[in-house]
Amino acid sequence: MHKFFIVPIIMLSLAILPCSAEAVKQEIIPNELSVQIYSHKLPGESAQEAWTFVSEGLSSAGQSEMMMTIVKKEGEKEADAAHDPIMFFKTVHGLAKQNKLVEAGDRTELSPGEKGFVAPQFIGTIYLTPQPLASVQIPDDAIVAMPVTREELAAFDIGGASRVSARLSRQDKFYPYPTWCDRTRKSVFTQDEIKTMKAEPINEAPTAALYKAGIIAENNRLSLAVPPDASESFVKILKDLPKDAPLKLNLGVDSRANAFLVWSPGQALAVAPPKSDGSVLSGSYIELLPGVKETELGSFGDGYVAMLTNDDWEKLKLAVAGKKDLKINATASGEFKELEITFPVEAYRNPTDGTFIRPTQGWKLYTPDGKERPVSAPDSKGDRIVLLTDQNLIASYIQATDLISFISEIDKTVKDYFAQTPQSNKYEIVVQCDLSPDNKADFQIAAKPSKLAANILQDLYLKLKTIKVPTSKGSFSFQSVRELKSK
Q: For the structural domain made of 203-343, what CATH number should be given?
A: 3.30.1360.220
Q: What is the pLDDT of residue 421?
A: 65
Domain boundaries, the chain: 1-199, 203-343, 348-485
Q: What is the pLDDT of residue 4?
A: 34
The whole model's pTM is what?
0.74
Residues (pLDDT < 50) of the chain are 1-6, 15-20, 347, 354-381
pLDDT digits (tens, 9 = 90+) for 420-436: 765 556 667 888 898 88
Q: What is the pLDDT of residue 312?
A: 97
pLDDT digits (tens, 9 = 90+) for 26-35: 999 999 999 9
Q: What is the pLDDT of residue 377?
A: 36
Q: What is the pLDDT of residue 65?
A: 96
Per residue, what are the HEC states of the chain? CCCCCCCCEEECECCCCCCCCCCEEEEEECCCEEEEEEEEECCCCCCCEEEEEEEECHHHHCCCCEEEEEECCCCCCHHHHHHHHHHHHHHHHHHHHCCCCCCCCCEEECCCHHHCECECCEEEEEEECCCCCCCCCCCCCCEEEEEEEHHHHHHHHHHCHHHHHHHHHHHHCECCCCCEECCCCCCCCCHHHHHHHHHCHHHHCCEEEECCCEEEEECCEEEEECCHHHHHHHHHHHHHCCCCCCEEEEECCCCCCCEEEEEECCEEEEEECCCCCCCCEEECEEEEEECCCCCEEEEECCEEEEEECHHHHHHHHHHHHHCCCEEEECCCCCCECEEEEECCCCCEECCCCCCEECCCCCCEEECCCCCEEECCCCCCCCCEEEECCCHHHHHHHCCHHHHHHHHHHHHHHHHHHHHCCCCCCEEEEEEEEEEECCCEEEEEEEEECCCCCHHHHHHHHHHHCCCCCCCCCCCEEEEEEEEEECC
